[in-house]
Structure 1
Amino acid sequence: MPGMDAARLREGLAGRYAGVEVVEVTGSTNADLREALAAGAADRTVLIAEAQTAGVGRRARSWSSPRGAGLYLSVALRPSGVSFPALGSLSVVAGLAVRAVASELGVDAVLKWPNDVLAGPDRAKCAGILAEAVAGPESSVSSVVLGIGLNVRPLGEDVPAGPGGLPATSLAEQGAKDPGRTEVALALLTRFDELERRWRGAGGDLTGAGLLADYRAHCATLGQTVRVELPDGATVTGRAADIDPAGQLQVDVEDGRRLTVFAGDVVHVRPA
C-alpha cells in the first residue's frame, strides 16, 4: 500500500497551513499536537500519521487506525477572537468538511451529532472528529487541537462497533472510486481551511459564518427520537429538535421541556 505523498501535500496546501508533517506511526496525532502547542507550535500546524497505536475518540475511546486504510490527522489551531464556549462548534465545521469531501467522491454521507459522519444506506460510521481545547498561560484556553479519523479504503479487519452498536465503514466500501489518501487529505484540508476561516472570522458563531443552515440540512440526528447518554451517566430521551448557534443539540422531552445538550453520546432510536 503506497504511503502518503508528503511533498504533494505541502505543495497543494501551501499558504493555507503553517506546516504539514507526515509520520509513519505515532500514538495519537492529537496528543502529539497538544504537546506541540504547549511548546509554541504555530497556528494551523498539521500532523498526519500513516498509522496510530493509540488513536482516541470522544470520552477516551479507542479509534482503530490500521496502516494504509484511513486518514488520521490533527490540526493545531490558535483561533484568536473565538471564545471558550464557541470552541466546541469547531467539530461542526470539521464535520461539514468531511461530509462535503465524501459527497464529492460519490458517497452518500450525513452528519450525526456531535462528531460522527455516517455513510451508505445503513448509515455506518466512516469518520469521527475530536476537538480538544489546550490551556494556555494562566489556565486560559488559547488553542485547540482538531482531530479527524476518516476511513478511506476497505478496513480489512474487524473494527468494533461504536456507541449504540454503530458499525464501521469506509469511503471505498460505500462506492468511492479508488480514493487515493493523499488526494483525499488535500481535498479535506482545503475544504476545512475554507470553512474554518469563515468560522474564525465570525468569532466561532455558526450562524454568522453561514454554516448552521448547512449543518442542519445534513444532520441525520434532527427529527429522530434519540437517547442521549450524558457524561455524568444520566440519560435523556426525546426528539432531536434543533442545533443551536453554538453547535449544541436541543432535545424536546416528554414533559414539554426543550433541553440543550452540550456533550454526550447520541443513539438514534427510531425516525420520528
Structure 2
Amino acid sequence: MADIDAARLSAALKDRYTRVDVVDRTGSTNADLRKAVEEGAADRTVLLAEEQTAGVGRRARPWSSPKGAGLYLSVALRPSGVPFSALGSLSLVAGLAVRAAAAGVGVDAVLKWPNDVLVDGAKCAGILAEAVAGDDTSIVLGIGLNVLPLGDVPPGPGGLPATSLAEHGATNTDRTDVAEALLTEFDELERRWRLAGGDLTEAGLLGDYRAHCATLGQDVEVQLPDGTSLTGRAADIDAAGQLQVDVADGRRHTVFAGDVVHVRPA
C-alpha cells in the first residue's frame, strides 16, 4: 500500500489550494488546522495524514484512522462572503464531493444527512465542519474517507458498520488519485457555495443533494442534545442545509445539523 504522494498531489492542486501538506502521523488534522487558522493560516490550506491517533467525528465521537487505509484530511477555509448562519451547509457540499469522488472510481454512494456517506448501508466516509473563533469567518472542514479495508473496526453510533471503496469494487484505490479527485471536486463545489453566500439553492447544489440523499422519504428518529427525540418523515432539505421533518400531528419541524445527536430509521 503506497503512501500518498505529497509532491504529485501538491502539484496537481497548486492552482486550487494555497498549500497542501501530507504528514505521516498526527492526532487530528482538524485540531492541527484549527490551531493553524488561529495563528493566521491562509484560506484553502489543506492537511492530510497517513494516520490519525485521535481522529474525531461529530460530537467528539472517535473516527478510526488506521495507517494507509484511508484519506484523513482537513481544509481550512475563510469564506468571507458567507454568513455564520450559513456555514452549516458546507458539510452537505463536502458530502457531494465525496459522493462524486466515489462515483469516479465506480462506487455508487449515497448521502445520509447531515454528514455521512454510505455504500450499501455501511459508512465509508464522515464529515466534520468546525467554525473557528476569530475576527473573520473561518471554518475547518474534515473528511475521513475509507479507501482500503480497515480490518476489524466496531460499528459507529447507530450501529452503522464501516466499509471502504475497495470493498465495493473501486476501479482505482491509489489514495493520491482519490485525494486529487476529491479535493478537485470539493474546490469546484465550494467555490459555487461561497459565491452564493452559502445558499445551496443559489449555488445550484440543493437539487443534487436531494437526489443523492438516502435520508429523504425515510421515517426517522432525530435524537436531540437535550435527550428528547423527534420522530417523523424526513420530507426535505432547505437551502441552508437543514432537514425538514413531518411529524404525526401534521406539523413540519426544521432540524439544524448542529442540533442533532443522531438520525436513525424510526
TM interval, shorter chain, is over 0.9
Q: Secondary structure of the residue that 2:188 maps to in structure 1? A: helix
> Partner of 2:159 in structure 1?
165
Instruction: Assess if the C-alpha contact under 8 Å between 2:124 and 2:145 holds in 1.
Output: yes
**Rounded Cα–Cα distance in structure 2 between residues aligned with 1:175 and 1:19:** 32
Distance 2:163 2:81 in 1: 37
Deviation at 1:160, TM superposition (A): 1.7
User: For residue 154 of structure 2, what is the amino acid of its counterpart?
Assistant: P
Deviations along 1:229-251, one digit per CA (max 9) or x if unpaired, are: 11222111100000010000010
1-structure distance, mates of 2:21, 2:225: 34
Q: Which residue of 1 aligns with 2:147?
A: 152
Match of 1:60 in 2: 60
CA offset at residue 268 of structure 1? 2.2
Measured in 2, the distance between the counterparts of 1:178 and 1:90 equals 27
* Equivalent in the alignment of 2:131: 133
Preserved contact between residue 50 and residue 71 of structure 2 (Cα < 8 Å): yes
Provide, for residues 82-130 of structure 1, a one-character-per-residue CA deviation record: whole Å limited to 9, x for no partner.
001100000010000000111111112100000000013xx10000000
Q: Are 2:4 and 1:10 aligned?
A: no
CA apart distance, 1:195: 0.1
Task: State the TM-score, normalizing by the size of structure 2.
Answer: 0.97
Q: Does 1:196 align with 2:199?
A: no
Aligned residues: 263
Q: How far did 1:166 drift?
A: 0.8
Q: Deviations over 1:17-56 (max 9, x none)?
A: 0000000000000000000000000000000000000000
Residue identity opposite 2:19 in structure 1: G
Equivalent AA in structure 1 for residue 85 of structure 2: P
- Match of residue 234 from structure 1: 228
State the shift of 1:177 in Å: 2.4
Question: RMSD over aligned Cα, in angstroms?
Answer: 0.8
Q: How far apart, CA to CA, are the structure 2 residues paired with 1:38 and 1:5?
A: 28
Q: Secondary structure at the match of 2:117?
A: strand
Residue identity in the other structure for 2:92:
V
Partner letter of residue 183 of structure 2?
L
Q: AA paired with 2:177?
A: E
Counterpart CA distance in 2 for 1:177 and 1:142 is 38
Letter in 1 for 2:142: G
**Identity percentage over the alignment?**
76
| Pairs within 5 Å for 1:199-210 | 199-210=193-204
- For 1:99 and 1:106, the matched residues in 2 are separated by 11
Aligned-pair CA distance for 1:2: 1.7
User: In 2, are the aligned partners of 1:153 and 1:172 still within 8 Å (CA)?
Assistant: yes
Q: Which runs of 5+ in 2 are unaligned?
A: none
Kindly provide the amino acid, as one letter, of the partner of residue 73 in structure 1. L
Q: Do 1:163 and 1:267's aligned partners in 2 also have CA atoms closer than 8 Å?
A: no
Matched residue SS, 1:74: strand
Q: Please list every run of at least 4 consecutive aligned residues from structure 1 whose deviation after the TM superposition is greater than 2 angstroms.
A: none
Q: Which amino acid aligns with 1:3?
A: D
Which of 216, 230, 237 is matched with 2:210 structurally?
A: 216
Distance 1:186 1:58 in 2: 25
5 Å-filtered alignment, 1:84-95, equals 84-95=84-95
